[in-house]
Structure 1
């Protein structure tokens, strides 16, 4: 199945937020490194990929366990939450290249648009409002509205249920292995964007649709003729 055929079969597009629509992953990484650095530890690159896309709590639990740190997980998560809020309020938040044009392409072709992010509601809405794009979405599901974090499929299944769309008719845009596993477990079609070349093969094991950037995905969409007519 090529991209054109896939697009012709879907009615709801669900975007992840961090690293897909907004360039906030470096902020998360800086805060996590600051917190973990207090214990004289560094976060290996492979561990960064394994926690990417998950909730703050799940990510912190994994980091403490993997790095042998005996810190109080809930206290660290609460501090991380405050540190992130401060940065989101005071630092410039930029959209990822071609992200908004991609959302607009789907919207202009009549697709329903939703957001499913592990970021909690307070921070997610702050980020979206700073960019003026909170009204781009027909529905938003955030990490604190579900019991289980990605890679569990709950957040995507809940989004599809609210939107009254069969999971098989959903098209998910993700940038993390946890997010892709979540969408696939929900029975949805998923594409990966902003994937580093050195880990591309890991993504290809989960989906044949792997793009180096959102601009590459948008270029593929712009070449489609009549898929949505």
Structure 2
């Protein structure tokens, strides 16, 4: 029997992955004086979706190491990474403070599932690789904080997704069994984390994550949802079958 629904945040409840991609793209384009274009970073961002911040920055740094070091001559690798982080966070926080922009990125049907499972008295959790400051701002904008039993962020763990630590911690805090947990994710790294924790996982893909999720072939087609309008029916059908 399913007792808890665990939602990823970025790309699942709100399309902040799009905003994150944009913030990294702008920051790196500025740092390289345009030799790394906005489109280049946005196009490559999909492989880093679902990773903690350090994983994203490390990946993008390695990918664009040559032009970054060329234009930030004399700076060591770690300082360059810090410049990427500080630059993109300034851009990203401006985006999060734009209520109209943020609300336009809410995942309508995935949020409807959260409200539905709240009304049906399931336990609800957000387990995200965002840091607490950003996660609380986004959750507050969606007005769902009072409907969540637990919010876990990258600040609460040592190992980020695809490591299962965050989901193992959810299970520990809720004091329920792995098979009683159902995870809603959008990214391949998040899916891997949920499966590694021994939980049921549904993937609600978007245009950034869809190709990777399908090509990885780690979820049966039944559990991959490309049209979010189908999410509630498919999740509730699964819940009914597993009573």
Q: Give TM-score, length-normalised by structure 1.
A: 0.86
Give the conservation status (yes or no) of the 8 Å contact 2:187–2:213. no
> CA distance change for structure 1 residues 200 and 116 in 2, over 3 Å: closer, same or farther?
closer
2:92 counterpart residue number:
84
1:218 counterpart residue number:
232
Q: Which moved more, 1:112-121 or 1:75-84?
A: 75-84
Give the conservation status (yes or no) of the 8 Å contact 1:107–1:113. yes
Answer yes or no: is 1:202 the counterpart of 2:221.
no
1:161 shift after superposition:
1.1
1:43 shift after superposition:
2.0
Answer yes or no: is 1:24 the counterpart of 2:16.
yes
- For residues 97-154 of structure 1, the C-alpha deviation after alignment (integer angstroms, 9 at most, x for no partner) is 2122111222233311100011111111111111211112100001122112211111
Aligned residues: 219
State the distance in 1 between where 2:238 and 2:163 align: 32
Equivalent residue runs for 1:1-229 within 5 Å:
9-38=1-30, 39=32, 40-41=35-36, 42-43=40-41, 45=43, 47-68=44-65, 69-70=68-69, 72-92=80-100, 93-94=102-103, 95-196=106-207, 198-199=211-212, 201-203=214-216, 205-208=217-220, 209-221=223-235
Give the conservation status (yes or no) of the 8 Å contact 2:2–2:242. no
1:219 shift after superposition:
3.0
Q: Give TM-score, length-normalised by structure 2.
A: 0.81
1:29 shift after superposition:
1.1
